[in-house]
Amino acid sequence: MNSHLIAPSLLSADFANLAKDVEMINQSRADWFHIDVMDGVFVPNISFGFPIIKCIKKYAKKPLDVHLMIIQPERYFEEFKNSGADIITFHYEASNHLHRSIYALKELGIKAGVVLNPHTNIKLLEDVINDVDLILLMSVNPGYGGQKFIENSYNKIAQLKNLIIQKNSNALIEVDGGVTLSNAKKLVETGADILVAGSSVFKSENPVETISRLKSL
């Protein structure tokens, strides 16, 4: 049963040939495009802005999963939606008004998710777990692609799965950071519903085949 989703991270794509990589994902068994937005403040790096997301949307045949690593993310929800975002996740650590932000996204008609950094406790989600569509767990520290997977992430996935079951929530669990063919099966078995894969897809000799193998666990 291959019910888990694969969301290749365009942060690892070839920016000089972005349309080519978008088309590769269109043709593959991937389910979503994962797009990391960084502001150089919340994380020490800067990435995609609205014009790039609009370009991706023009060619993409699958939903855009936009991960905001920015401070005060609620300022830009509407503009990200207008740029083509289908799913928006924002960081627990970057939002003072979690509940309000979740509902601001829902009012825009897009799927709403909250992201937790590796050190942030799952218990902090208890009050919103029934309001979100998904929770994105960072299994590396956010800001750069190609980092080593943090082993404690399995415990966090299991804790989150327990919370979802206990609260009778429909939230999906997304995992981002250091996902490879060697740990993907264990991640899904532990409770992950969506795997974000960057370097392991785009640096492989055959990205389409790698996506297929991640999907066929």
- Catalytic pick from 31, 39, 133, 176? 176
In this model, does residue 171 exceed pLDDT 60?
A: yes
Domains of the chain: 5-215 (3.20.20.70)
Mean pLDDT over all residues of the chain? 95
Looking at residue 52, its pLDDT comes to 94
Q: Mean per-residue pLDDT for 17-27? A: 96
- What digits encode the pLDDT tens for the residues 101-156? 999 999 999 999 999 999 999 999 999 999 999 999 999 988 766 678 999 999 99
Please list the residues that pair with 34 across neighbouring strands: 9, 65
> What is the average per-residue pLDDT within 79-103?
97
HSE-up of residue 72 (Cα within 13 Å, Cβ side): 2
Q: Which of 87, 89, 76 is nearest to 125 (CA)?
A: 89
Q: Which residues contact 81 (CB under 8 A, 6 or more apart)?
A: 88, 108, 109, 110
Residue (of 110, 157, 103) closest to 128 by Cα position: 103
Higher confidence at residue 3 or residue 188? 188
Does the annotation mark 133 as catalytic?
A: no
Catalytic residue among 31, 36, 39, 193: 36
Angstrom distance (rounded) from CA 35 to CA 10: 6
Q: Where are the alpha helices (DSSP H) in the chain?
A: 18-27, 50-59, 77-83, 98-107, 153-166, 184-190, 199-202, 207-215
Does the structure show a pLDDT above 90 at 1?
no
Q: For residues 179 and 204, what is the distance between their CA atoms, to the nearest angstrom?
A: 13
On whether the CB atoms of residues 176 and 150 are closer than 8 A, the answer is no
**Percent of the chain with pLDDT strictly greater than 70:** 98
Is 65 an active-site residue? Answer: no
